[in-house]
Amino acid sequence: KNQVEQSPQSLIILEGKNCTLQCNYTVSPFSNLRWYKQDTGRGPVSLTIMTFSENTKSNGRYTATLDADTKQSSLHITASQLSDSASYICVVSPGDKLIFGTGTRLQVFP
């Protein structure tokens, strides 16, 4: 069964600190993996998209990594800001559809 699991479910960090969110998937075949940021009350917004051949991609302070062999991805946030408080959703595509994880709820406190 195609599944995407994320950990932790929620995370609280202090402003300025770094954090890493995890994503494990059992989707097959694999086409691409995405990370979305979803602010409260808003729709998800794409942060990164990676294919099988890419093992890292950055978007500002966000860096996503992909290990297609172990079927794991991580999203690293550097020097967190209050505006990083949101849910981060890992999405894996076998090509014809998107399979969403349940997200990690991140709260950044001053």
Partner 1 sequence: EAQVTQNPRYLITVTGKKLTVTCSQNMNHEYMSWYRQDPGLGLRQIYYSMNVEATDKGDVPEGYKVSRKEKRNFPLILESPSPNQTSLYFCASSFIHSTGFYEQYFGPGTRLTVT
Binding site residues, partner 1, CB under 8 A: 4, 31-32, 41-46, 49, 51, 89, 93, 97-103
Tell me how far, at minimum, the Cβ of 79 lies from partner 1, in Å.
27
Quick one: 18 or 56, whose CB is closer to partner 1?
A: 56
In the complex, the smallest distance separating the C-beta of residue 18 from partner 1, rounded to whole angstroms, is 26
Nearest approach, Cβ of residue 70 and partner 1 (Å): 21
| β strands within 15-77, DSSP E | 19-25, 32-38, 45-51, 56-59, 62-67, 72-77
Structural contact between residues 76 and 18, judged by C-beta atoms closer than 8 angstroms: yes
